Amino acid sequence: MGKSGKSPEKSSGKSAGKEWLGLDAKSFATDLDRHLNLTLGKDPVEGSHLYLYNAAALTIRDRLVERWRATRDKYATEKPKRVAYLSLEFLMGRTLTNAVLNLDMDEALRKALKDYGVTLEELAQEERDAGLGNGGLGRLAACFLDSCATLELPVTGYGIRYDYGMFHQKIKDGYQIELPDQWLKEGNPWEFEAPENIRRIKFHGHTETHADADGNLRVQWVDTDDVLAVPYDMPIPGYRNNTVNTLRLWKASATDEFKLDQFNQGSYTEAVAAKNEAEQISMVLYPNDVSENGKVLRLRQQYFLSSASLQDVIIRWRQRNGDTFEGFADKNCFQLNDTHPAIAVAELMRLLMDDYGMGWDEAWEITRSTMAYTNHTLLPEALERWPVRLFRDMLPRLLEIIYEINARFLRQVSSHWPHDEGKLRELSIIEEGGEPQVRMAYLAIVGSHSVNGVAALHTELLKSGLFKTFYELWPEKFNNKTNGVTPRRWLGFCNPQLASLINKTIGEGWLTDLDQLQQLKPLADDKAFQKKWMAVKKHNKTLLAEMVECACGVSFDTDMMFDVQVKRIHEYKRQLLNILHVIHLYDRIMRGDTEGMVPRCVLIGGKAAPGYFMAKLIIKLINSVAEVVNAEPLADKLLKVAFLPNYRVTAMEMICAGTDLSEQISTAGKEASGTGNMKFMMNGALTIGTLDGANIEIRDAVGEEDFFLFGLKADEVEQVRKSYDPDSIIESDSDLKSVMHLLESGHFNLCEPGIFNPIINTIRDPHDQWVTAADFRSFTDAQVAVGEVYQQKALWTRKSILNTASSGMFSSDRTIGQYADEIWRLKR
């Protein structure tokens, strides 16, 4: 790793004459002491490491800031093309350990902490997760920022600084309870408010047209209710390369004059209420994963993020380049993480035309060539549509621009397909019939030069299904970028024992070049290496078992297989299929049919959207089944079941390291990519999965021998649905019949009769979209095969090593390299 050897003094952007802060243990000890006693003004507190955590965070932060400023200087000098990554979600998790390890300050900090009798691990526990995202989409944004900094790419993340991130999940009587996530309660040492970069965002009002001095028609958006966007910057360090990029999160704040107006009229309470309304915009993250609920506040958030971020990019461009947009499109790119910020297409047009006097054609050329859109799902309930009525009231100028974009686009459609009314209706950005709606995905496609899916199958299904006609019109826009995860957080840091074993075996180069893990392949059958590999897994299972014991009160035996499904709870992800298999194992135990059964600990975790009835009921079912199984003496040595509350990034770091079997069992064609599947694979878990999303590429990479495949394929699911008859499937499969009998007899809900009827009804519903019953047989057979392999320790370990060794392509460094080369066209 040439980069890691680069000494800070030689960094090109370093301001002359300034010394870097010391990197030795003594400097760290001095700074810890100073921050604790002077910056924070505290003595070490008995029983709490919070102040010491803050002192450590500040010690590391100072060193981050040096490199952050140097990176800014470097970009200012080199004037590279820049990317703004716009996302309503960034699921960052904790920062301290990641920063310490990326900066290579681990050893020195640990030594300095010895004086306080605290380990870095204990200190790290004090930090709350930055949970500004729901699941995969938000975590992807976080992994991407890590890879961009590591690849030294000038990419800035733009998001919202929610006061309350993803809710905290508790389980009470088996049911999910949502509690507010007060992640900022003890302050956030990792953010820097930048009031000099406040932007003003308009809402409501109306538009007026007038002719300018040259006789051109100009539009003004006036009488608006403005809200201020205040930026909070978080440093994003690359891996041992002195690059520190920025995540800029916007907080909403009331304007001063707005408040004054109201005060002058003596209406104090109205003024405060109005202030509240403005500040509500960044109050809370919407907790819906892959589904929209059409709330007005959500559209306000989307426009708030889009407008603040675009204004920011433009103003900074003009600070560097003066009053010109010449070269703007060659030096800027906007990546839209799903349709959530799709309004940016119309907003960029508005800013260029109304604020900077540009004509339509020139503005459109810039917009179309700088915008790029990533699609994240094929599920119809996730497709964002906003009522035209809402736009007219909240964003009247944006609606005018969308209408004009649509009119010009439809002219293109009719010249491509002359006299085809159907095509116009089909492709229109405005959906007519009933309440007219703005189709945000269509706006994003029309306004972008690139549209990408997030796994090979997903992109193919976009081209042949959801966006088929757009693909016929503009095949060159469509491309695939299979997701990835950062190998630093998701292997190097979360699994130090495995990382150390790999380092000793093939060196450290894999951390920035994950394909090097291939070098482990020749060792897959090496007895001595296998032994070390197994010892590491055992250690990680012990840690995971401690977590499960502490959080769920269920004891997991590390000699048993750890069978894990953690992800958002959603019907398409089929936690229900998993629990049906658990019931089947329990049923076998009760029948005495345990011949060849491999002892398992089944762990399931994930949050359900608060308004998603079925998902919440599935959580209750998992807990009810767990209670019965764990209380059954006959099952004691064979089956344990636990539901882990409050699944989040920090939990996943421990979970993926300690898992034997990764459950990736979505209905084929429904999971766009998945990234949990990649984290598990990197850490040597074997996968049982359907041919869905990136599972397909995972299986191709490791080979079909070392992946447990089951279930209908995407096209077969579509076929089966046409004449789906779950009752007859159940009737003809004695195992499933017996499972249904247990469910229907109320065996798991003796005190709450009937509560699971909605679940039973969906399994038996001929319209069950997720065809759970259709895949039960195949899933159960595949689980038998899993058990047979697990009992052959050497064979399982071989497959485990081969999974890690084959996981190279699932590094987000590979993904980001492809975005940089093929969409952003960055020099590197």
Nearer to ligand PLP, 447 or 676 (CB): 676
Q: Taking a C-beta distance cutoff of 8 angstroms, is the pair 346, 398 a contact?
A: yes
Q: How far is the CB of 91 from ligand PLP (least distance, A)?
A: 6
Give the separation between CA 666 and CA 146, rounded to whole angstroms: 28
Contact characters 724-753, ligand PLP, x per CB under 6 A: ------------------------------
Give the separation between CA 158 and CA 155, rounded to whole angstroms: 10
Nearer to ligand PLP, 669 or 674 (CB): 674
Q: How far is the CB of 729 from ligand PLP (least distance, A)?
A: 27
Q: Is 649 in the site for ligand PLP (CB under 6 A)?
A: yes
List the one residue out of 278, 395, 384 whose CA is nearest residue 336: 384
List the one residue out of 171, 92, 99, 105 whose CA is nearest residue 132: 92
List the one residue out of 71, 87, 95 whose CA is nearest residue 13: 71
Tokens encoding 612: 């998603």
Confirm whether 679 is a catalytic residue: yes
Confirm whether 675 is a catalytic residue: yes
With CB under 6 A as the contact rule, the residue among 136, 189, 645, 787 that binds ligand PLP is 136
Q: How far is the CB of 458 from ligand PLP (least distance, A)?
A: 12
Nearer to ligand PLP, 314 or 649 (CB): 649
Nearer to ligand PLP, 243 or 662 (CB): 662
Helix (H, G, I), strand (E, B) or coil at 478: strand
DSSP assignment string, 445-479: HHT-SEEEESSHHHHHHIIIIITHHHHHH-GGGEE
Tokens encoding 472: 């016929």
Residues, the chain: 828
Q: Is 139 in the site for ligand PLP (CB under 6 A)?
A: yes
Confirm whether 49 is a catalytic residue: no
DSSP 8-state assignment for residue 226: E
Give the separation between CA 789 and CA 563, rounded to whole angstroms: 14
- Which member of 168, 574, 679, 798 is catalytic? 679
With CB under 6 A as the contact rule, the residue among 453, 676, 684, 726 that binds ligand PLP is 676
Nearer to ligand PLP, 448 or 666 (CB): 666
- Which member of 573, 581, 616, 798 is catalytic? 573
Select from 58-66, 134-142, 205-213, 701-709 the region that touches ligand PLP (CB under 6 A).
134-142
With CB under 6 A as the contact rule, the residue among 51, 135, 284, 564 that binds ligand PLP is 135
Q: Taking a C-beta distance cutoff of 8 angstroms, is the pair 98, 350 a contact?
A: no
Select from 114-122, 530-538, 625-633, 644-652 the region that touches ligand PLP (CB under 6 A).
644-652
Give residue 449's Cα distance to chain centre.
24
Select from 133-141, 196-204, 532-540, 696-704 the region that touches ligand PLP (CB under 6 A).
133-141
Q: Taking a C-beta distance cutoff of 8 angstroms, is the pair 493, 97 a contact?
A: yes
Nearer to ligand PLP, 382 or 405 (CB): 382
Give the position of tokens 């790793």.
Answer: 1
Residues with Cβ within 8 Å of 61's Cβ and at least 6 positions away in sequence, in order, are 99, 189, 190, 235
Select from 52-60, 131-139, 405-413, 437-445 the region that touches ligand PLP (CB under 6 A).
131-139
With CB under 6 A as the contact rule, the residue among 488, 648, 699, 814 that binds ligand PLP is 648
Q: Is 174 in the site for ligand PLP (CB under 6 A)?
A: no
Name residue 160's beta-bridge partners: 250
Q: Taking a C-beta distance cutoff of 8 angstroms, is the pair 109, 120 a contact?
A: yes
Nearer to ligand PLP, 679 or 799 (CB): 679
Q: How far is the CB of 567 from ligand PLP (least distance, A)?
A: 3
Tokens encoding 737: 């019949």
Sign, CA dihedral 573-574-578-579, equals positive
Confirm whether 568 is a catalytic residue: yes
Nearer to ligand PLP, 139 or 588 (CB): 139
Name residue 430's beta-bridge partners: 438
**How do strand 661-664 and strand 686-689 relate by DSSP bridges?**
parallel
Q: How far is the CB of 680 from ligand PLP (least distance, A)?
A: 9
What is the distance between the terminal CA atoms of the chain, rounded to a whole angstrom? 16
Q: How far is the CB of 685 from ligand PLP (least distance, A)?
A: 12
Give the separation between CA 547 and CA 39, rounded to whole angstroms: 34
With CB under 6 A as the contact rule, the residue among 343, 582, 652, 672 that binds ligand PLP is 652
- Which member of 376, 463, 588, 798 is catalytic? 376
Q: How far is the CB of 552 from ligand PLP (least distance, A)?
A: 18
Select from 394-402, 434-442, 518-526, 646-654 the region that touches ligand PLP (CB under 6 A).
646-654
Tokens encoding 116: 């306080």
Angle at 132 between CA 129 and CA 137, to 5 degrees: 115
- Which member of 61, 567, 600, 814 is catalytic? 567
Name residue 385's beta-bridge partners: 439
Give residue 173's Cα distance to chain centre.
29
Confirm whether 18 is a catalytic residue: no
Segment 563 to 602, residues that bind ligand PLP, using CB under 6 A: 567-568
Residue nearest to ligand PLP (CB): 676
Nearer to ligand PLP, 166 or 773 (CB): 166
Confirm whether 30 is a catalytic residue: no
Just list the catalytic residues: 376, 567-568, 573, 675, 679
Question: Could you list the residues that contact ligand PLP (CB under 6 A)?
Answer: 135-136, 139, 567-568, 648-649, 652, 674-676, 679
